[in-house]
A and B are shown apart, each in its own frame.
Chain A
Amino acid sequence: MSGASPDSAAGGRARSAPLMGRDTEPTLFELSAPGRTSWQLRTTGVPEWAADELVPAGHRRQEPVALAEVSERDLVGHFTRLSHRQFSVDLGAYPLGSCTMKYNPKVCDTVAGLPGLAGVHPAAPVSTIQGWLALVVELEEVLCAVTGMAAATFQPAAGAAGELTGLLLMRAYHDSRGESRRRVLIPDSAHGTNPASVTLGGYEVTTIPSDERGCVDMEALRGALDTDVAGIMLTNPNTLGLFEEDIEAIADAVHQVGGLLYYDGANLNAILGVVRPGDMGFDVVHLNLHKTFATPHGGGGPGAGPVAVSERLVEFLPGPRPARLASRHEPEGPAAAEGAASEAAAPVDRYGWVVPARSIGRVHSWHGNALVLARALAYIRVHGGDGLRRVAERAVLNANWLRVRLSGTYDVPFDRPCMHEVVLAASSLKRQTGLRALDVAKRLLEEGFHAPTVYFPLVVDEALMVEPTETESPQTLLALAEALERIAAEAAEEDGLAVAHAAPRTTPVGRVDEARAARTLVPTFDSRK
């Protein structure tokens, strides 16, 4: 195996493709039979008044909401069969660039299911939620250590919510200085959420081009900077998987005109324990706990997008925030022993809620995606500072191994060491054989792998963005590389393109007619014709 990996027999070769079901599953509504039920509710003994004794006629529903009527057995069969039509990290490798689809440790599921965490009402009085407040404060401390920031809010429910929160923090900061700035700079390689968030934050986007090395074009940046610039949003490493080597110069230039630096944490996995956004000069950082800290993505969410800030922005954070209360109940000196004894008799709250002095206000119904926070804390504690550093090392090692291994087969538009992900391209293959990035993605599904991110970043033609993550073994990487090489080789064969266009054939459905979905639009079972 070309010196690429150790003993080829070690580690085995599992395949996930044959495990997924191919039969169409009826909707729950088609499985329904009138009068069939599965619900069972507690015996309460509460008087059984009729609806018309409880709800005024003008407000009362005349017909019940029609839902499916199925037995519990059919309910289980239905959703179990649906689950067999779904690829997941637990099933196989998921090298979806920019999404950091690493293994989600099961211990975190156990944590999120603890009744003492899952059963807590968000409005319960402070004396009954001391554990939750302590948990969030502990997570804040470790995430500040990881990012080099001063404090964090946990209200934002996802990365995009964190971005908008960060932009509103920047606005509040500039407002407090009596400055009205209108523009936010964004590199052309940025995630789409960045420009969308900028607009919702009330700012205008100025796009900064990438240079030939795939990094921020410093000349263009300097040309765009003036006192109308509220800040710049960057992810580092950027979406091309490259570290912005000029980050210190970028930070200096932006700070010089009074702007702030926003760090999009989508790619934080690459630099854990290596370099911190705070040390690079960033003022605001959002983290994607569902990427870097292994909380499962749930098929599209939930995530969690906490925002950490430097000292000068702390007073603007959303509130209320969990906080360790001043140790006024912990007397020192000779009286301490006595004090401790009386404390034992009447426990005091060591944690409470505080609202920052100039808070931008609330950004979530409650306190953010709390159970996701508990999972992240468990993940971080298992790894510790040393383990997080190893995470970054292995993630970068895996991505670079793929880069070198595949560089003869696919284009590597920016062929220098990458960080946690490598952007390949099918542009030469397309020119030579007609095989496009989309075809590569669909063929890879047949091989039992999830596809990479395709056609992103927008600045790369026929982009295939591959992020193996640190939890895939060398054996899996080799299998992935061989599959990608096979796909490229087949395309050059007679009928090769036809085979690629017919892919995927081993998945629950073949290529899906997206144009028809938009044209005929069937958003519910009731709108079927």
Chain B
Amino acid sequence: MADYLPHTEDEVRTMLGFLGLESAEELFAAVPVALRLAGGLAMATGEPEPDVLAHLGELADANRAHQLVCFAGAGAYDHEVPPVVRALASRSEFVTAYTPYQPEVAQGVLQAVFEFQTMTARLAGLPVANASLYDGASALVEAVNLGTAAAGRQTVWVSSGIHPHWRQCLATFARGSGHRVVEVPLDNGTTRWPKDTAPGDVAASPGAIVVGYPNYLGCLEDLDAVRRLADAHGAVMVVAADPVAAGILRSPGGAGADVVVGEGQPFGTALGFGGPYLGLFCCTMAQLRRLPGRLVGETVDVEGRRAYVTTLRAREQDIRRERATSNVCTNQTLMAVTAAVQLGWLGTSGLAEVALRCARGTRYLREAVLAIDGVEPLTGDTPVVRELALRTPLPAATVIDRMAAEGYLAGVALDALTGPAGDGSVSAEDAVHGLLVAVTERRTRAELDGYAAALDKAVRS
């Protein structure tokens, strides 16, 4: 009998006796007998930890993806996570705490989140950041909820350069919110916004306009044009920014974004088969009262000492209930704390250096693979910094399978994101032949050369 229950049999008997009961079954007297599970749960009996570890170890060993040199990205990146970040982020005081409902005994998490909010806000070039959302997609959904509420209009213009999965989430949740999501197509990797910037039909006019920077194909969009468009329509400008590329690119807040969202996984969080990740959310002071999720603020205690507490609580679901604009409660605090540690480790020069090294690796690989017969850039000459989309002569899924045999995770097939029919970002043909390749600071020149050689072989045979 292996478990974590401290009670001895004697103690159980004594406690039952104190309650005037003879057996544990009597504890459930309120449950109608007809409903009770006869014969117990239809599953195996418990097994000791070493056996469980062996089983989970076998499952882990049945995966191969982690043994491949990673060139896959699409929002989930293989960045350096040093031992010091792993050690601090796995401290059990952070790991095994609940939401900081009692600030007097939660200053550790609260201050770490306050520091996270500060660093994220600086990264975005905006004054406020929340304490995290589930992932990039949920941050975008919340941004659209904020934008439509602020503008009082249900229509949203979303660049097709936004990650296809994020757009798919927007479509799912729009069925409940009633938002009208208009996906604006790309041309050679950047958004082809409607030429007419006049407000026109107010009902069809967007309450929010969403653009990626860089977008999911790695391309740099014209943020000034989006700001002008948002001004023309009185819309909220939402930028989905790559937080690592932000280390080398102009700040979205500086370019006029009202809301900046992003996927924070690159800051110290494991690839982990897609989660838990970290939704980043920043906004202007003007939008503060509509900020979704938790916000930590600085204050003082009764003795005047500096202290931190979750604030503007009246926005949240447990107080506002059906009038709340967001239902988020549990978020991704541990990933936010992890990001604070990782950004503390990187510091001013480290973040810039990581971004620069990603751009260098991307440039190097781009030149190497474009020398291969039949491999072309999918987005023409549009500048890219940390990720690039290629058109391969064979279906990208075939290329990926072949390169896996050579030890490389070659990238992400675009049709795995968009579906075989493509979408506003790529045609069906390009979806099937499109390969999205990410280069992080961890890739060496030898790995880049090896990748190019393997790709050459994969597309020739």
Return A192 CB to nearest CB of chain B, in Å: 4
A441 to B123, CA, bound (A): 38
Interface residue B229 (Cβ < 8 Å from any Cβ of A): no
Interface residue B393 (Cβ < 8 Å from any Cβ of A): no
If A54-B363, A70-B344, A134-B59 touch, whether A46 touches B350 (CB-CB below 8 Å) is no
Return A13 CB to nearest CB of chain B, in Å: 14
Interface contact tally, CB-CB below 8 A: 753
Q: Which residue among B49, B104, B172, B337 has the maximum number of chain A CB atoms within 10 Å of its CB?
A: B104
Interface residue B16 (Cβ < 8 Å from any Cβ of A): yes
Looking at the complex, which one of B32, B66, B354 makes contact with A41 (CB distance below 8 Å)?
B354
Let me know if B177 and A202 touch, CB within 8 A.
yes
If A65-B351, A300-B294, A507-B104 touch, whether A124 touches B72 (CB-CB below 8 Å) is yes
A497 to B19, CA, bound (A): 33
Let me know if B272 and A391 touch, CB within 8 A.
no
A88 to B80, CA, bound (A): 29
Let me know if B324 and A6 touch, CB within 8 A.
no
Let me know if B11 and A474 touch, CB within 8 A.
yes
Let me know if B46 and A371 touch, CB within 8 A.
no
Let me know if A248 and B35 touch, CB within 8 A.
yes
Residues of B within 8 A of A460 (CB): none
Interface residue A323 (Cβ < 8 Å from any Cβ of B): no
Which DSSP category, helix, strand, loop or mixed, fits chain A's interface?
loop
Q: Which residue of B lies closest to A161 (CB)?
A: B134
Residues of B within 8 A of A512 (CB): 103-104, 299-301, 307-309
Q: List 6 A-B contacts (CB under 8 A).
A: A54-B363, A122-B275, A123-B74, A365-B137, A398-B15, A510-B305
Let me know if A364 and B169 touch, CB within 8 A.
yes
If A134-B62, A161-B134, A371-B276 touch, whether A522 touches B299 (CB-CB below 8 Å) is yes
Let me know if A132 and B273 touch, CB within 8 A.
yes
Interface residue A493 (Cβ < 8 Å from any Cβ of B): no
Let me know if A121 and B6 touch, CB within 8 A.
no
A297 to B251, CA, bound (A): 33
Q: Which residue among A64, A142, A504, A510 has the maximum number of chain B CB atoms within 10 Å of its CB?
A: A64
Return A494 CB to nearest CB of chain B, in Å: 22
Interface residue B195 (Cβ < 8 Å from any Cβ of A): no
Let me know if B122 and A199 touch, CB within 8 A.
no
Q: Which of A377-396 contact B (CB under 8 A)?
A: 377-378, 380-391, 393-394, 396
Residues of B within 8 A of A299 (CB): 94-95, 97-100, 106, 108-109, 113, 333-334, 337
Residues of A within 8 A of B200 (CB): none
Let me know if A192 and B317 touch, CB within 8 A.
yes
Let me know if A120 and B104 touch, CB within 8 A.
no
Return A114 CB to nearest CB of chain B, in Å: 4
Chain A proximity mask over B53-83: 1 for CB below 8 Å, otherwise 0: 1011111111111101010101110101010
Task: Flag the segment in A76-84, A328-336, A423-431 that touches B.
Answer: A76-84
A88 to B99, CA, bound (A): 10
Residues of B within 8 A of A276 (CB): 37
Return B245 CB to nearest CB of chain A, in Å: 9
Interface residue B121 (Cβ < 8 Å from any Cβ of A): yes
Task: Flag the segment in B230-238, B369-377, B440-448 that touches A.
Answer: B440-448
Let me know if A363 and B172 touch, CB within 8 A.
yes
Let me know if A524 and B118 touch, CB within 8 A.
yes
Interface residue B107 (Cβ < 8 Å from any Cβ of A): yes
Interface residue A279 (Cβ < 8 Å from any Cβ of B): yes
A442 to B302, CA, bound (A): 13
A160 to B327, CA, bound (A): 6
If A90-B93, A390-B3 touch, whether A119 touches B108 (CB-CB below 8 Å) is no
Q: Which of B86-124 contact A (CB under 8 A)?
A: 87-88, 90-109, 111-115, 117-119, 121-123
Let me know if B275 and A361 touch, CB within 8 A.
no
Chain B proximity mask over A284-304: 1 for CB below 8 Å, otherwise 0: 000010100000111111111
Interface residue B208 (Cβ < 8 Å from any Cβ of A): no
A516 to B30, CA, bound (A): 46
Return A331 CB to nearest CB of chain B, in Å: 22
Residues of B within 8 A of A400 (CB): 19, 27
User: What 20 new A-B contacts, CB under 8 Å, besides A118-B66, A158-B331, A397-B19?
Assistant: A5-B11, A6-B11, A46-B448, A54-B356, A59-B250, A105-B49, A117-B60, A118-B270, A199-B322, A243-B30, A299-B97, A299-B100, A360-B172, A368-B275, A377-B56, A397-B16, A474-B6, A512-B104, A514-B311, A521-B312
A474 to B5, CA, bound (A): 11
Interface residue B131 (Cβ < 8 Å from any Cβ of A): yes
Return A184 CB to nearest CB of chain B, in Å: 10
Return B368 CB to nearest CB of chain A, in Å: 11
Let me know if A157 and B321 touch, CB within 8 A.
no
Return B147 CB to nearest CB of chain A, in Å: 15
Looking at the complex, which one of A20, A64, A192, A523 makes contact with B297 (CB distance below 8 Å)?
A523
Chain B proximity mask over A356-374: 1 for CB below 8 Å, otherwise 0: 0000111111111111101
Let me know if A365 and B263 touch, CB within 8 A.
yes
Task: Flag the segment in B160-168, B424-432, B453-461 that touches A.
Answer: B160-168
Interface residue A87 (Cβ < 8 Å from any Cβ of B): yes
Residues of B within 8 A of A99 (CB): 98-99
Let me know if B274 and A365 touch, CB within 8 A.
yes
Interface residue B24 (Cβ < 8 Å from any Cβ of A): yes
Interface residue A45 (Cβ < 8 Å from any Cβ of B): yes
Task: Flag the segment in A163-171, A255-263, A482-490 that touches B.
Answer: A163-171
If A54-B359, A301-B330, A362-B165 touch, whether A131 touches B3 (CB-CB below 8 Å) is no
Let me know if A86 and B106 touch, CB within 8 A.
yes
Let me know if B137 and A523 touch, CB within 8 A.
no
Let me know if A361 and B168 touch, CB within 8 A.
yes
Let me know if A196 and B322 touch, CB within 8 A.
yes
Residues of A within 8 A of B305 (CB): 24, 509-510
Interface residue A461 (Cβ < 8 Å from any Cβ of B): no
A304 to B404, CA, bound (A): 31
Interface residue B52 (Cβ < 8 Å from any Cβ of A): yes
If A65-B246, A197-B327, A385-B43 touch, whether A370 touches B361 (CB-CB below 8 Å) is no
Return B407 CB to nearest CB of chain A, in Å: 11
If A301-B334, A522-B297 touch, whether A168 touches B175 (CB-CB below 8 Å) is yes
Looking at the complex, which one of A288, A381, A527 makes contact with B47 (CB distance below 8 Å)?
A381
Interface residue B329 (Cβ < 8 Å from any Cβ of A): yes
Residues of B within 8 A of A520 (CB): 299
Return B84 CB to nearest CB of chain A, in Å: 5
Return B353 CB to nearest CB of chain A, in Å: 7
Interface residue B319 (Cβ < 8 Å from any Cβ of A): yes
